[in-house]
Amino acid sequence: MRILSGIQPSGESHMGNFFGAMRQHVELQERGQGIYFLADYHSMTSVRDAEERRHLVIELALDYLACGLDPARSVLYRQSDLPETTELAWLLTTVTPMGLLLRAHSYKDKVDQGIQPDHGLFAYPVLMAADILQYNSDLVPVGQDQKQHLEMTRDIAVKFNQAYEREVFQLPEPHILKAVAVVPGTDGRKMSKSYGNLLRMFWPEKKLRKAIMAIVTDSTPVEEPKDTDQTLFQLWSLFADPDEQAEMSARAAAGGLGYGDVKKDLYERVLSYFGPYRERRSELAKRPDDVEDILRAGAGRARELAMPVFEAARSAAGVGPLG
């Protein structure tokens, strides 16, 4: 089974990304041939600084490798190291109905936010379809927000197969990542790069501690019972087993529990949970050439996996050299 997912290099990854996506991507490696790529072409629809893009791609590669993405088992590559994908996107775009793209929620949302759309933003789902269809991917793990893009991929595959009367593309199945309760940020809203309320697992200890100590809480005095349905406890629970959670609820209900102590405990738990990942990341960061080698080797392997589909698509469409 081929499991494919793209990850946008859009900024520092955080604990929301970890529990909502990264950890599940890493777990899925066990179930088949994992193919993961850093979607730098897609990031061109939002990031317009070349240096920044290169930097974000490497940072994200380090994050994934540190969190257990195993390059010996899975393919990890930079999307732009396989430029054939953009050729396939053209073959697909010629059969993609305008109406299909006009119905895309993410496009409509961006336009509603006042973003002046360009063709890249409009065509984003077609490039995504090429990413997926080039491997005849079976399973595509994505967040709920990407589900419509997956449905569009299926529609585009059908259009191409019908237009050229050949079963060139196989229809992929979406695998919607478990909506583990949305991880809250330090201010109580959903943890997100856009809100500046992050906890990043790879921050230096001091910065991490400071951010954890700043998590918002209500103003219940120490001696009184505490409501555990608030950000601090939700975050703490991510690092505690059910028995510990039950014990914490009992302590909170009894009164006498200080938020400061819970924060200190959370900090210790975060360090111990992410300790091995933090270590691996700092080791890897000292060897940028090795990371580059991993990405290049990944692209080589990705090309091998995609070649039969590229050839079938070109041949069906009657473009490229006669093979």
Site for ligand TRP contains 146 (CB under 6 A) = yes
Site for ligand ADP contains 183 (CB under 6 A) = yes
Write down the least CB distance from residue 143 to ligand ADP, Å: 3
Site for ligand ADP contains 8 (CB under 6 A) = yes
The two tokens of residue 183 are 């991880």
Among 147, 175, 193, 301, which residue interacts with ligand ADP (rule: CB under 6 A)? 193
Write down the least CB distance from residue 241 to ligand ADP, Å: 20
Question: In sequence order, what are the residues at sequence separation of 6 or more whose Cβ sits closer than 8 angstroms to the Cβ of residue 135?
Answer: 2, 4, 35, 302, 305, 306, 309
Could you report how far apart the first and last alpha carbons of the chain are, in Å?
28
Cα distances from 29 to residues 23, 129, 132, 300, in angstroms, run: 10, 21, 17, 19
Sign of CA dihedral 43, 45, 46, 47: positive
Among 35, 89, 140, 313, which residue interacts with ligand TRP (rule: CB under 6 A)? 140
- Is 304:33 a contact under the CB 8 Å cutoff? no
**Cα 192 to Cα 136: distance, rounded to the nearest angstrom:** 32
Q: Which does 16 bind (CB under 5 to 8 A by kind): ligand ADP, ligand TRP, none?
A: ligand ADP
Of 37 and 274, which CB lies nearer to ligand TRP in the complex structure? 37
Q: Annotated active-site positions, please?
A: 110, 190, 193
Site for ligand TRP contains 174 (CB under 6 A) = no
Site for ligand TRP contains 157 (CB under 6 A) = no
Instruction: Give, for 140, the enclosing helix (H) or strand (E).
Output: strand 139-142
Which residue minimizes CB distance to ligand ADP?
20
Write down the least CB distance from residue 162 to ligand ADP, Å: 31
Look-up of token digits 């790879």 = 202
